[in-house]
């Protein structure tokens, strides 16, 4: 095998840099824009795109039946995210646009707009500077599948689509109480959302078309259309039930809109599991290593192996181990380095547990260049730890380990001869747990983006939480 | 790694497009004509190799240099210069016989991102010498850059 066909040795700094700066997503967004716009001169176009830096600007579509609260949610989102709101009325009301004037005349004559005209209005609005810079929220557009397809062909694609849903009866009732403030355009309700100031109360008028029959007709139309629009936006739709207080709907919508979707970026997990003794770190590490092919790096195990091998580090550690105190950090670090520097560890990713135990060790590891990209803290209450550890037993004859509650020994004869390790006595456990909690606050501060989990559940549930923590992108800190 | 990046970008883009095939063909032709994938591979490789503090500004500076180079005809900012190419040839020719086999040559061009997997290159049966290798690599790089 010569140099060209051997597998590439990539220094670990490269994937770390790529992940930290989201290089893949950057390139993907640029390629998307290039393919959609297909400019004659790609280089100035790319320079402009990079300077605009609007990859994460909000691009939201809100759909829902009449009276579901779309406009209210859209207006609140617009205020909160400091973005722009587009609805059929606002597009038609635009000044200085021949398309909008055309739309107004047609609407007056026929009460509806042709799809192509509406879509071209949207496109014109989205090209303006403020939409490019601060993003956009579409309220109730697209109304039909044809509009959805037309919008897609023009290259407009939202990143989040929110669909509000509620039972028809609730909506028909709700619509009867709808009132609009003609000055601000805000929507109020006679029962759910009555404005406190009496001057607003006096201004409110009931809009046209809120009778039961009218609402029922519009609902029928909506149900017919929405079923055919949703398949255009796979994976980015979230359905929120509108049959709850406005504020709840708003908060659900806001959290959804601020999540980042999983991307196709290459990702090697470098996981750090922290938790008091008995929290299940070794078990989770073994499960992760088996499912994802990561290298399971158990610090305690490594040190014992080093001593058994009688390597030079092993000899240095032995006196500390015999006295049952923790060894000096730099020796432990050296033993770890030998393993983490190997090619397969760098390629496949690793799961580390048992080290670092306090802030200094964490700083040391960080300065050597071993930065985990996911850190988990497993929280288990003290009583559960006692239960898990004090009932551990080992069979001196076969060496099998069992647990009196979770994995009892098969026969009474074996149970009679089981022994308990002195390290599993309550006193010892208490000492070790206290030691952990003394240092855990600092560790959590050091690893800013750590995920805390409840370790007091069955192992496979905890494993699923860990998996979702690894697979989903880390939440972006909202400024 | 930049090559796998490019592969993933290509498949994810074409997977996402559900338009009819004439639009897809149009898009593919556009990419080919302007050599977009090679440019993006180069940009990604530069980013990962130099690891600048501010990736966007760095990318903008590379693109600006490219733009002025194209207009004024000044030398392009090549990723590899002649000493790198000679070093690469020596790595391939581990037994020092002075020439490398055709398969090695093709693999090397693929690694550098200078030719696609199914491009057909003529095999003159004599093996590729160092000068020929350097000459071919430079020629291909020029070809790619001239499209920008």
Residue spans per domain, chain B:
17-72, 82-147
Q: Higher-confidence residue: B66 or B13? A: B66
With a cut of 70, say whether residue B6 has pLDDT above it. Answer: no
Residue of A18, A50, A153 lying closest to B59 (CB–CB) = A50
Q: What pLDDT was estimated at residue B127?
A: 67
Tell me the per-residue pLDDT of A312-360, one tens digit each, with 9 for 90 and over: 888 888 888 777 777 788 888 888 888 888 878 888 889 999 888 888 8
Whole-complex ipTM = 0.75
Name the nearest CA neighbour of A421 among A450, A395, A384. Answer: A395
Judged by a CB distance cut-off of 8 A, whether residue B91 touches chain A is: yes
Q: What pLDDT was estimated at residue B72?
A: 65
Tell me the per-residue pLDDT of B79-115, one tens digit each, with 9 for 90 and over: 556 677 777 777 777 777 777 777 777 777 777 766 6
Q: Higher-confidence residue: A83 or A113? A: A83
With a cut of 90, say whether residue A61 has pLDDT above it. Answer: yes
Judged by a CB distance cut-off of 8 A, whether residue B94 touches chain A is: yes
**Measured between alpha carbons, how far apart are the two ends of chain A, in Å?**
51
> What band does B120 get if pLDDT is binned at 50, 70 and 90?
low
**B94 contacts in A (CB within 8 Å)?**
2-3
Residue of B12, B55, B91 lying closest to A21 (CB–CB) = B55
| This model's pTM is above 0.90 | no
Distance of residue B99 Cα from the nearest chain A Cα, in angstroms = 14
With a cut of 70, say whether residue A171 has pLDDT above it. Answer: yes
Please give the CATH number for the structural domain made up of B17-72: 1.20.890
Report the pLDDT averaged over residues B10-20.
51
Judged by a CB distance cut-off of 8 A, whether residue B47 touches chain A is: yes
Name the nearest CA neighbour of A130 among A167, A164, A84. Answer: A84
CB contact under 8 A, A27 and B91: no
> What band does A1 get if pLDDT is binned at 50, 70 and 90?
very low
**B43 contacts in A (CB within 8 Å)?**
27
Tell me the per-residue pLDDT of A263-289, one tens digit each, with 9 for 90 and over: 888 888 899 999 988 888 889 999 999
**B19 contacts in A (CB within 8 Å)?**
153
Tell me the per-residue pLDDT of A113-135, one tens digit each, with 9 for 90 and over: 888 888 888 888 888 888 888 89
Tell me the three state secondary structure of residue B128: strand
Judged by a CB distance cut-off of 8 A, whether residue B115 touches chain A is: no
Interface test with A, best of B4, B6, B12, B19 (most A CBs within 10 A): B12
Judged by a CB distance cut-off of 8 A, whether residue A414 touches chain B is: no
> What band does A88 get if pLDDT is binned at 50, 70 and 90?
confident
Judged by a CB distance cut-off of 8 A, whether residue B55 touches chain A is: yes
């Amino acid at each position: 095998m010569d140099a060209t066909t051997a597998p590439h040795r990539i220094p670990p700094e490269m994937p770390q840099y790529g992940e930290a700066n989201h290089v893949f997503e950057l390139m993907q967004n640029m390629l998307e824009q290039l393919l959609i716009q297909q400019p004659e001169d790609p280089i100035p176009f790319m320079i402009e795109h990079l300077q605009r830096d609007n990859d994460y600007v909000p691009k939201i579509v809100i759909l829902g039946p009449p009276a579901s609260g779309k406009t209210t949610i859209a207006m609140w989102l617009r205020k909160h995210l400091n973005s722009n709101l587009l609805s059929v009325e606002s597009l038609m009301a635009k000044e200085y646009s021949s398309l909008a004037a055309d739309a107004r005349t047609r609407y007056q004559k026929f009460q509806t707009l042709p799809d192509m005209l509406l879509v071209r209005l949207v496109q014109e609005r989205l090209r303006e500077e403020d939409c490019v810079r601060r993003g956009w929220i579409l309220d109730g557009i697209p109304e039909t599948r044809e509009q959805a397809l037309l919008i897609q062909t023009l290259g407009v694609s939202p990143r989040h689509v929110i669909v509000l849903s509620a039972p028809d009866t609730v909506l028909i009732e709700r619509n009867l109480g709808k009132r609009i403030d003609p000055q601000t355009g805000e929507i109020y309700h006679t029962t759910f959302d009555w404005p406190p100031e009496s001057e607003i109360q006096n201004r409110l008028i009931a809009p046209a078309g809120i009778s039961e029959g009218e609402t029922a007709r519009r609902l029928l139309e909506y149900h017919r259309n929405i079923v055919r629009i949703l398949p255009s936006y796979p994976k980015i739709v979230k359905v929120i039930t509108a049959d709850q207080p406005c504020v709840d709907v708003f908060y659900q919508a806001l959290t959804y809109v601020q999540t980042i979707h999983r991307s196709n970026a290459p990702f090697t997990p470098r996981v750090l599991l922290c938790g008091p003794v008995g929290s299940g770190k070794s078990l989770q590490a073994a499960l992760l290593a088996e499912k994802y092919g990561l290298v399971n790096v158990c610090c305690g195990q490594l040190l014992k192996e080093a001593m058994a091998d009688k390597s030079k580090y092993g000899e240095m550690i032995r006196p500390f181990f015999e006295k049952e105190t923790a060894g000096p950090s730099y020796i432990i670090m050296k033993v770890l380095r030998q393993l983490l520097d190997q090619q397969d560890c760098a390629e496949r990713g690793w799961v580390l547990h048992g080290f670092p135990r306090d802030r200094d060790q964490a700083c040391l590891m960080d300065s050597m260049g071993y930065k985990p990209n996911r850190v988990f803290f497993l929280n288990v209450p003290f009583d559960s730890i006692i239960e898990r550890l004090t009932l551990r037993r080992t069979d001196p004859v076969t060496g099998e380990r069992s647990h009196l509650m979770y994995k009892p020994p098969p026969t009474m004869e074996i149970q009679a001869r089981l022994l308990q390790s002195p390290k599993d006595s309550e006193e010892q456990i208490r000492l070790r747990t206290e030691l952990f909690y003394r240092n855990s606050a600092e560790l959590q501060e050091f690893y800013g983006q750590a995920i805390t989990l409840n370790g007091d559940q069955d192992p496979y549930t905890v494993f699923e939480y860990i998996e979702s923590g690894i697979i989903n992108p880390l939440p972006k800190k909202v400024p | 790694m930049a090559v796998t990046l490019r592969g993933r970008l290509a498949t994810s883009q074409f997977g996402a497009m559900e338009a009819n095939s004439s639009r897809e063909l149009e898009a593919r032709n556009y990419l080919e004509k302007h050599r977009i994938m090679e440019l993006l591979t180069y940009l990604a490789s530069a980013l990962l190799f130099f690891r600048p503090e501010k990736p966007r500004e760095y990318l903008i500076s590379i693109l600006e240099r490219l733009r002025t180079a194209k207009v004024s005809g000044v030398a392009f900012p090549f990723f590899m210069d002649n000493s790198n190419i000679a070093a690469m040839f020596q790595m391939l020719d581990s037994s020092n016989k002075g020439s490398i086999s055709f398969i090695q040559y093709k693999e090397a061009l693929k690694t550098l991102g200078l030719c696609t997997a199914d491009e057909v290159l003529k095999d003159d049966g004599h093996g590729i010498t160092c000068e020929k290798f350097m000459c071919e690599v430079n020629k291909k790089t020029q070809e790619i850059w001239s499209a920008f």
